[in-house]
Amino acid sequence: MKRWDVIISGYGTVGRQAGRLLLERQERYRKRYGADVRIVGALRSAAGSYDADGLTLDQLRAFSADAGAGRPEWTGADFLESCAYHVLIEAGPSDIQTGGHALEAMRAALGGGKHVIAISKGALVADYPGLSALARENGVQLKVSGATAAALPTVDLLAYNLAGCEISLMEGIFTGTANYVLTAMMDERLSLTQAIERAQQMGIAEPDPRFDLEGWDTACKLTILANAAFGAPLRLSDVKREGIEQLTHEQLAAWRAAGLVPKLVGRLQSAQGRVEAAVELRLLEPTHPFVHVRGTTKAVRVETDTMGELLVIGGKSDPVAAAAAALKDLEHLLQQSG
Amino acid sequence: MKRWDVIISGYGTVGRQAGRLLLERQERYRKRYGADVRIVGALRSAAGSYDADGLTLDQLRAFSADAGAGRPEWTGADFLESCAYHVLIEAGPSDIQTGGHALEAMRAALGGGKHVIAISKGALVADYPGLSALARENGVQLKVSGATAAALPTVDLLAYNLAGCEISLMEGIFTGTANYVLTAMMDERLSLTQAIERAQQMGIAEPDPRFDLEGWDTACKLTILANAAFGAPLRLSDVKREGIEQLTHEQLAAWRAAGLVPKLVGRLQSAQGRVEAAVELRLLEPTHPFVHVRGTTKAVRVETDTMGELLVIGGKSDPVAAAAAALKDLEHLLQQSG
């Protein structure tokens, strides 16, 4: 039986869920793919837990529970370059300026001929073309479901469900937090501040919600999607961007009176080999399918040449779903090698 | 460059579109997968056109245009067993009782170690378990996108976008014709007869529309989906079935007055390893997402353990889209071998 040794770096909330789910599914991987999948390492920026025979759930829990656990020599790019494994799952914090530790980890893994499954967006936003080239040169894959709307299929949808189609448009509601805030303002007439506070109490919004509300989160996802799904070397600075951080009660009342529904929509449009990306505050007629996409729910709509249009709505927005999306990517690797 | 020789059997309306699209995409297959894909044969039940170097669009057109064209020895199971190719695309008429010519063709292909891409449903309904076992024994694949709602992803959705998830429910509007007739009766207040006549004039409904209206089409798709996506050896006779062929003006008026929307919904439910299938006339509340699925549009909704729910709406229902769905399956074979 083929061994598949996995390291999870940036081991935090999502990484823990990925670890737990992976161990739950080990028996399934054996039966379905003849694959003996093990987690050999769990790494944080300062230290790591490692066992070449595979870490148990108890070992992973002990590492999670104690900030001082693990060994400092078992982490970082040097460790990832020197040690034996097949797949890196990167789930660390996003640094969209430099890519941070996550970018170093991904470069080390891809450069060493390991597959990379990215959950955090920062490294992909900072240097998708470089990482993609590194994967190609080393004959391995760079998978990004966890970083591009997670449980809502996006890259998959184009590369697999619509394989062979020309895609002229992909647009969607890609940021659950922004959609939650907008829905609360429209449906429950909360002010922007009230809606943000509620989202923060529910654990949906970050203490600093600007990344989501100013459209940066959607813009990052569009940047990755343009690269991964359209093959266009788009950068974050190429994305036109609007947010919802300036909306007033008065504006919303006027739109409500006019029967319009505001939504923060990310759009990728492809024509004559050129891909254009924009995050836009759109005022939708009540018949538009995105009008029914409420709260933290996400959605994507694509237009094709031969298969018509597809609209996909849903996919949970929580750490378990993000982890499950990354394990979907892992399963694609197992399927392809089977 | 690896040769991929394709034979299209049951060469009719959809087969012609598959042939044309495939030839249009040859250059793309070369560039993207290093695959030299050719159509070496186009077969009808009585005769076939064959060229080991690949048929041109002109040759395919000549074969389509002339009912007497082709040679009688270049078709049938014996020919498919004796000749050299890699993939059979089966697009012939559906015989859900016996499987007909399509079943013979698929058995010959799979038994000879060729991949099969099914567009017609009959053979799959008649003997999915047998065909699937034959594929496994011969190390080849049986792909069924074209037979299971075509451009609307269904098998794909479970096997790829939701890989690793437990699926408790898959339900959908799988028959465009029935949905068109129901929508016309509800929204435009047509009688059943008027709605059927309109659908026939538009080329949406067959001269004998009972297969679609009595729920057989949905039941066939559920049978194939249960086998292909859930791995359950369900037979057509296991599917509980309702249709819309008895609906009266009075019933519809009463539902309209009560604010309910009737939809013909196919449902696959999985619990404790048992899969239950039913085609049901459901009366939906106006907030149900299927209410917005009008005309020939199709939809599918799934419930998962770790990724929440997904709703997919759309995918064109015409011969080009059915052909494109089959070529998506072909592209998956190319992706896996790459």
pLDDT single digits (tens) B60-70: 999 999 989 99
Inter-chain residue contact A309 with B310, CB threshold 8 Å: no
> What residues form DSSP beta bridges with A312?
A300, B312
Q: Where are the alpha helices (DSSP H) in A25-121?
A: 26-33, 57-65, 76-82, 100-111
A263 is in an annotated binding site: no
- A296 assigned to a ligand binding site: no
Give the contacts of A275 (CB within 8 A, at least 6 positions apart). Answer: A226, A230, A232, A234, A268, A269
Same domain, A28 and A109: yes
Query: Residue A151 and residue B308: Cβ atoms within 8 Å?
Result: yes
Alpha carbons A310 and A68: distance in angstroms, whole number: 48
How confident is the model over A84-138, as pLDDT tens digits?
999 999 999 999 999 999 999 999 999 999 999 999 999 999 999 999 999 999 9
**One domain for residues B144 and B56:** yes
What percent of chain B clears pLDDT 90, i.e. is strictly above it? 95
User: Over 90: is that where the pLDDT of B206 sits?
Assistant: no
Same domain, A208 and A70: no
* Bigger pLDDT: B309 vs B338: B309
A173 and A146 in one domain?
no
Check CB contact of A308 with chain B, cutoff 8 Å.
yes
CA-based max dimension of chain A = 64
**Which residues lie closer than 8 Å to B197 by C-beta, 6 or more apart?**
none
Q: Best mutation site among A290, A296, A306 for testing chain B: the one with the most B CBs within 10 Å?
A: A306
By C-alpha distance, the chain A residue nearest B156 is: A161
Residue pair B279/B223 in contact (Cβ under 8 Å)? The answer is: no
Residues A192 and A96 in one domain: no
pLDDT band for B338, please (50, 70, 90 cuts): low
CATH code where residue A293 lies: 3.30.360.10
Which pLDDT value is given to residue A196?
Answer: 96
Select from B4, B22, B160 the residue whose CB has the most chain A CBs within 10 Å, as the one to mutate to test that interface.
B160
pLDDT tens digits for range B211-243: 999 999 999 999 999 999 999 999 999 999 999
Cα B117 to Cα B10: distance, rounded to the nearest angstrom? 12
Statement to judge: residues A170 and A281 lie in one domain: yes
Co-location of B169 and B116 in the same domain: no
Residues 137-156 of B with CB under 8 A from A: 150-153, 156
Please check whether residues A57 and A143 belong to one and the same domain.
yes
Q: What is the pLDDT of residue A125?
A: 98
Q: Does B21 touch chain A (CB under 8 A)?
A: yes
- The answer for A 165-224 residues in CB contact with B (under 8 A) is 165
The verdict on whether A143 is a catalytic residue reads no
pLDDT digits 0-9 by tens, A194-224: 999 999 999 888 888 999 999 999 999 999 9
How far is residue A43's CA from residue A63's CA, in Å, rounded to a whole number?
A: 9
Is there a single domain that holds both residue A216 and residue A233? yes
ipTM of predicted complex: 0.96
Output the domain CATH number for residue A53: 3.40.50.720
| Total domains in the fold of chain B | 2
Q: For residues B306 and A321, is the Cβ–Cβ distance under 8 A?
A: yes
Task: State whether A16 and A141 are in the same domain.
Answer: yes
Q: Using N-to-C axis directions, what is the helix angle for A57-65 and A13-24, rounded to 10°?
A: 170
Residues of chain A short of pLDDT 50, as ranges, are none
Range of the domain at A127: 2-150+319-337
Nearest to A311 among B306, B308, B313 (CB): B313
* Euclidean distance between CA atoms B60 and B41, whole angstroms: 9
Give the DSSP letter of residue B45: S
Q: Rounded CA gap, B323 and B318, in Å?
A: 9
Distances, alpha carbon B183 to alpha carbons B3, B186, B210, B280, B290, in Å: 47, 5, 17, 16, 12
B338 has a chain A CB within 8 A of its CB:
no
Same domain assignment for residues A106 and A219 = no
In sequence order, which residues have a C-beta less than 8 Å from that of residue A203 and are 6 or more positions away?
none
Would you give the distance in Å from CA A141 to the centre of its chain? Answer: 16
Position B337 scores a pLDDT of: 84
Assess A293–B contact: CB distance below 8 Å, yes or no: no
3-class DSSP assignment, residue A116: strand
pLDDT tens-digit readout, B5-61: 999 999 999 999 999 999 999 999 999 999 999 999 999 999 999 999 999 999 999
Which of A185-189, B243-247, B270-274 bottoms out in mean pLDDT, i.e. has the lowest?
B270-274
Q: Which residues of A touch B310 (CB under 8 A)?
A: 151-153, 312-315
Residues A191 and A262 in one domain: yes
Query: Cα separation of B309 and B167, whole Å?
Result: 10
